[in-house]
């Protein structure tokens, strides 16, 4: 670990909510989002130079297939904490995807979406998606929370399509919004940053999107999401105000909030777990990372263990970021199989080093911090 990163990790944990309990939360993003529809689409987009083989989100990230759920549940079922509970992934869901047919029917003038379940069960090999969700929740392997309505910036995407951008039009025909580089023509801002904005008037649309996302989540899962994670860690104080009114009490993310400067760049605001914003929402800050599919570190297991150790040395909860793409085999089965073995190794070593560990969901940690 580089010295600057080492010092920053210690500082983040030093400021964090303190508990002598050895608490671990595992947060995983982008469940439900389409991103790369299939291996065939991936191969074609690489061939046409629309996405890069070097981008792990292009190479690996897709809808979870039945085999992916089976593999993840098998590993989680092998492990227990001091309370005899399995590790539980907080799965952050995108609750809809673009309805490509309806958008094209409007000549790209209007945005339309479809429920994430329709997208997921429509994929070959994921017909039992709903059954796995029910099983995972019932057995304590997963706990859903809200990530957003869609994982694409609607205004930017539609403009690219309306302007006839060749690469975006081509990826659209393959059923995705993925173009590499994804910052093309957006002042180095991402097409995936759903709540980024260039003009203040876009905030009205964001309020509508957040309201619909909350409603879609509650209608499907049957309960309210108390935490939210904004795509690409980009949100403003206005977004925090919207979500507080909608009942979101906790904001997941990394140690920096990225606030749009409306046009170019971002203002970065430091965060730490347990900190309250001006709307009394509690920050939940990821201080550990297990990202073998995208990390350049040679030993992602040991690196994550080191970060957990730093967290616990300050009596801070360890909040591990572990993205969906690590457990997906739709495009490359070796990606899933390799990383499940690494997850098994990580969980084994956690139990060996900290037998008193307790696995929490993001919502449970937020409730503990707020004494609820």
DSSP codes of every residue in 22-58 = -EEEEEEEEET--SS--HHHHHHHHHTTSS-TT-HHH
pLDDT range class, residue 7, cuts 50, 70, 90:
confident
Task: Using CB atoms within 10 Å of the CB of residue 140, give its burial: 0 to 12 exposed, 13 to 18 middle, 19+ buried.
Answer: middle
What is the pLDDT at residue 125? 94
- Distance between CA atoms of residues 164 and 160, nearest Å: 6
pLDDT range class, residue 9, cuts 50, 70, 90:
confident
What is the pLDDT at residue 5? 73
What is the pLDDT at residue 232? 96
Average pLDDT, the chain: 95
Residue 89 has pLDDT above 90, yes or no: yes
pLDDT range class, residue 261, cuts 50, 70, 90:
confident
What is the pLDDT at residue 247? 98
Tens digit of each residue's pLDDT (9 = 90 or more) over 138-187 = 999 999 999 999 999 999 999 999 999 999 999 999 999 999 865 566 67
Q: Give backbone dihedrals phi and psi of 235, rounded to 5 degrees, phi first.
A: -160, 160
Higher-pLDDT residue of 4 and 230 is 230
What is the pLDDT at residue 265? 83
Residue 347 has pLDDT above 60, yes or no: yes
What is the pLDDT at residue 320? 98
Q: Which of 197, 228, 233 is nearest to 210 (CA)?
A: 228
What is the pLDDT at residue 185? 60
pTM for this one? 0.96
Does residue 276 contact residue 261 with C-beta atoms inside 8 Å? no
Tens digit of each residue's pLDDT (9 = 90 or more) over 263-278 = 678 999 999 999 999 9
What is the pLDDT at residue 255? 95
What is the pLDDT at residue 1? 59
Going from N- to C-terminal start, the domains of the chain cover 3-369
- Domain 3-369 coded CATH 1.20.120.160: no
- Distance between CA atoms of residues 238 and 209, nearest Å: 13
């Amino acid at each position: 670990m580089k010295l600057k990163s080492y010092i920053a990790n210690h500082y983040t944990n030093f400021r964090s909510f303190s508990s002598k309990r050895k608490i671990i939360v595992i947060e995983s993003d982008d469940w439900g989002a389409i991103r790369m529809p299939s291996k065939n689409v991936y191969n074609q987009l690489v061939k046409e130079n629309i996405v890069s083989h070097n981008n792990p989100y292009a190479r690996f990230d897709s809808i979870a297939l039945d085999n992916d759920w089976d593999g993840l549940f098998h590993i989680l079922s092998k492990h227990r904490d001091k309370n005899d509970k399995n590790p539980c992934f907080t799965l952050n869901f995108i609750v809809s995807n673009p309805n490509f047919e309806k958008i094209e029917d409007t000549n790209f003038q209007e945005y339309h979406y479809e429920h994430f379940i329709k997208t997921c069960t429509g994929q070959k090999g994921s017909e039992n998606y709903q059954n796995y969700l029910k099983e995972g929740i019932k057995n304590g392997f997963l706990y859903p929370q809200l990530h957003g309505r869609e994982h694409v910036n609607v205004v930017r995407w539609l403009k690219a399509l309306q302007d006839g951008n060749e690469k975006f039009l081509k990826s659209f025909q393959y059923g995705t919004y993925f173009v590499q580089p994804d910052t093309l023509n957006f002042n180095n801002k991402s097409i995936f940053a759903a709540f980024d904005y260039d003009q203040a008037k876009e905030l009205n649309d964001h309020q509508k999107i957040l309201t619909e996302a909350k409603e879609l989540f509650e209608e499907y899962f049957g309960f309210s999401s108390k935490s939210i994670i904004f795509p690409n860690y980009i949100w403003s104080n206005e977004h925090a105000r919207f979500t507080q009114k909608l009942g979101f009490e906790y904001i997941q993310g990394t140690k920096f909030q990225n606030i749009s400067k409306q046009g170019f760049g971002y203002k970065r605001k430091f965060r730490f777990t347990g900190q309250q914003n001006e709307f009394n929402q509690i920050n939940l800050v990821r201080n550990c990372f297990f990202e073998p599919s995208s990390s350049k570190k040679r030993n992602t297991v040991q690196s994550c263990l080191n970060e957990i150790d730093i967290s616990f040395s300050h009596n801070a909860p360890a909040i591990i970021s572990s993205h969906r793409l690590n457990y997906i085999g739709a495009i490359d089965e070796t990606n899933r199989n390799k990383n499940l073995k690494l997850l098994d190794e990580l969980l084994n070593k956690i139990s060996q080093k900290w037998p008193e560990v307790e696995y929490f969901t993001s919502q449970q940690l937020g409730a503990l911090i707020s004494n609820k």
